[in-house]
Structure 1
Amino acid sequence: MKVKSSLKRLAAAAATTAALASVPALAQEVVKIGYSGPLSGGAALYGKNVLDGMQMAAAEVNAAGFEVAGKKYKLEIVPLDDKYNPSETAINAQRLVQEHKTPAILVPHSGGSFALQTNNEAQKYLLLSYTSVPQVTARGNKLTLRIPPEFTGYIGPFTKYAMGKYGKNVAIANADHDYAKAWTAAFKPAWEAAGGKVVAENPMSYNRATDFYSGVSRVLASKPDVLFIGGASEPTGLVVKQARELGFKGGFVIIDQAKMDEISQVTGGYGPLEGSIGVLPVVDDPAPVTKAFVERFRKAYPGRNPSSEVSLNYTAVHATVQAMKLAATVSDAAKIRANLDKAMKALPDQYNPHGLDGVDERGGSLANTRVATVEGGKVKERALRDFK
């Protein structure tokens, strides 16, 4: 009898211990933010950079503790590959909403963002759009955050620098996806209005091709002073490399999707990029908060440097979490969106290495944009006021 009684007590104690051990797991629910972007193909590095920034932020949120309205949560990023195909983005969004109950989905391309804007308001999820195309916010979608500033702010400075340094004849040899087309549609009339001439147009499939000799040869036959290029960084690097190998001596205007530091890894340094103008690489940003972010990233991802895809989407996740806290909800997308401006402004500097200043009423982020040129084989930071 004593043996049976002892066994009963041990069983009861074990059951109590198990029940207590399960309490934290039950108390801490999971909030999921979806991601649909390219994780394979020519834009895979671009997509991975976006995802790494998101996951770095999620790790910090969970380490610090994530509590909303007195309830503890764990943040999880759910990534799906869409191969840069808007149709795949739309399919992924349905999976993320239906299977994972994501209150927000981040998409790093304009085509996919437009695809989701057809129903995200009806399905009540927040679109975190990593594209600088103005139309993403101009559509009036009330559940959209455009993460980077509009690219139109770059066009005047890029035109003034390249035309003044090299000449008035430009050949367009950028990518052929929706984002690059939007850039071309804005850049071409601006270049012509400044007195320049477009001598050739040959967009190329940066996300699928690995050899650009024929396309680059075609535009170089028009004897341009400047090449207008850009898409994902790796294929952009191949375009630069092959243009130099074919004897091109002019400058490059590089759309903001491509990053000079990543291009230089393909070209064998900054030498082939001499005379280029593009966005300022994160690793060359002298701001102390950005330098500290770079070191944290290098520690988390040894052997790698962060791009602006990393830093801006890192901030977007932190801002979304902060907005959830201010809105006292992890599921009401409208309330979360309504608090994004306050959330962005309230972010500690360490979570905002790009220095985003807030969110306007249309859902577009605000920032003091800076650019960079390559002179003497080195990156030189340039403020937009330098080109006025």
Structure 2
Amino acid sequence: MAPTRAIRPATTVAAALCTGVLLATSACGGAGGSDSDTIVIGYSGPLSGGAAAYGKNIQSGLQLAIGDLNEAGVTVDGQEYQVQLQSLDDQYAPDAAATNAQRLAEQDDAAVVFIPHAGGIQAAQELNSSRTEFLLGAYSSDPKIVEQGNELTMMIPPSFTSYAKPFVDKLTEDGQSRLGLLGTSSEYGQEWTKLVSDEWNSRGGRVLTDNSIDYATVSDFAGPVSRTLAENPDVIFLGGPSQPTAVIIEEARRQGYEGSFLIMDQAKFEEMEKFTDPANLNDSIGVKPVRDYDDPGTDDLIDNYADEVTKERPVTSEVALNYQAAAIVVTAMQQAGSIDDPTAIREALPDALGRVDERFHVSGFPTEITDAGHLRNADLEAAYRTPEGEYEYLSIDQPDE
């Protein structure tokens, strides 16, 4: 089990959750290059606007890991370092993310930059191995990220292609044949919709009208839900951020729907439970809640998140997977003997996985990194919430890359 740790002051993480274009205080990162005894980890994400809660979840995971790394002590090639997070707000815009990443690498000497949205990741991939070199910590389940052949990319979460077949398998066990579509209308959502629709069709089922919604701008979901229910679906596919997903599920139940929900990986059960009666989520399949992992560091992360960030929201995979990833990157620096050579750090990642302190094993810690740069856990599981409200876990076979 992870060793007992002292609780750090709440200001450690609170300082890191500042918003704005550039975090200007020393705790959040200054505007110049790094000191000789500082390792800078860069982050570009949505820290304001509609996706700010999501962006701050990733930022919280990174900052909690950095606090724990500094507490334990970081030595690279015989020199002691303090790790520091430099954060820039991109408001979920791909062009802004790429500009921010370049700025973090060139002005702040960040050899590693984390970005948590597919558009920004792909924009940054156009410059990170040519114009400005940096290792890209890519937090998105879009498989296109590792299909680019970018040698300086580390993809953090499972690919959503892993989920479609087992999700459909589970929800067609009792002969369900009609699939309603209420996913988010983003590019990511439409790729998910196509994947699930193709899988459903392959079983001889019927895919009904696509009533996808822009989860970021639509607040009245009664109409799309009503149109979907008019076709009598056995299963409804939906998902986007957790809050609107929960509201749509609640609306469907309010209108009398008693069937199953197939929930894409962006929405999280533990968050949705905060926005609707948890019973509304019964008979649904989705991502396994972090609290149900038995990794050595899970309970400590949950406790420290409550103490240092908030007691009002649960730890989700956005927090947990980026907490793990920050520790993996710094361990790779130690193995490479370099804090500023992205290629050497990337090459050291396979060896680093087996050397990360167990306190950072919190959410299905990765057992491998593929040649394409994808962190993967051989024991990936999904969660089915039964009609009685209990969680069952299903093993997931991940496709080859």
TM-score tier by shorter-chain length is 0.7 to 0.9
Residues 287 and 318 of structure 1, relative CA distance in 2, 3 Å threshold: closer
Which of 352, 370, 385 is equivalent to 1:374? Answer: 385
Residues 36-75 of structure 1 aligned to structure 2 (within 5 Å): 36-75=44-83
What is the match of residue 384 of structure 1?
395
Residues 182 and 251 of structure 1, relative CA distance in 2, 3 Å threshold: same
What is the match of residue 97 of structure 1?
105
Which of 342, 347, 353 is equivalent to 1:338? Answer: 347
Which of 224, 239, 246 is equivalent to 1:215? Answer: 224
- State the TM-score, normalizing by the size of structure 1: 0.87
Distance in structure 1 (CA, Å) of the matches to 2:54 and 2:303: 20
What is the match of residue 28 of structure 2?
none
Does the CA-based 8 Å contact 1:254-1:277 persist in structure 2?
A: yes
Distance in structure 1 (CA, Å) of the matches to 2:188 and 2:79: 40
What is the match of residue 369 of structure 2?
359
Residue identity matched to 2:265: D
Structure 2 unaligned blocks of 5 or more? 1-33
Structure 1 unaligned blocks of 5 or more? 1-25
Query: Once superposed, what is the RMSD of the aligned Cα atoms?
Result: 2.0
Are residues 1:309 and 2:318 paired? yes
Does the CA-based 8 Å contact 2:136-2:153 persist in structure 1?
A: yes
Are residues 1:276 and 2:287 paired? no
Distance in structure 2 (CA, Å) of the matches to 1:179 and 1:283: 26
Residue identity matched to 1:83: Q
Does the CA-based 8 Å contact 2:382-2:396 persist in structure 1?
A: no
What is the match of residue 244 of structure 1?
253
What is the match of residue 4 of structure 2?
none
Are residues 1:169 and 2:182 paired? no
Q: CA deviation at 1:234?
A: 1.3
The structure number with the bigger radius of gyration is: 1
Secondary structure of the equivalent of 1:121? Answer: coil
Does the CA-based 8 Å contact 2:95-2:123 persist in structure 1?
A: yes
Residues 170-189 of structure 1 aligned to structure 2 (within 5 Å): 170-189=179-198
Secondary structure of the equivalent of 2:41? Answer: strand
Which of 156, 167, 170 is equivalent to 1:147? Answer: 156
Residues 173 and 325 of structure 1, relative CA distance in 2, 3 Å threshold: same
What is the match of residue 350 of structure 1?
359
Secondary structure of the equivalent of 2:274? Answer: helix
Q: CA deviation at 1:51?
A: 0.9
Q: Deviations over 1:15-62 (max 9, x none)?
A: xxxxxxxxxxx9862222111222233332222111110000011111
Which of 60, 78, 86 is equivalent to 2:94? Answer: 86
Are residues 1:266 and 2:272 paired? no
Q: CA deviation at 1:246?
A: 2.1
Q: Deviations over 1:192-232 (max 9, x none)?
A: 10222110112211123333222222322222111111111
Q: CA deviation at 1:356?
A: 1.3
Does the CA-based 8 Å contact 2:296-2:358 persist in structure 1?
A: no
- State the TM-score, normalizing by the size of structure 2: 0.85
Does the CA-based 8 Å contact 1:42-1:209 persist in structure 2?
A: no
**Aligned residue pairs: how many?**
360
Q: Deviations over 1:252-273 (max 9, x none)?
A: 11111110110111113x2001
Residues 99-138 of structure 1 aligned to structure 2 (within 5 Å): 99-122=107-130, 123-138=132-147
Which of 253, 267, 270 is equivalent to 2:262? Answer: 253
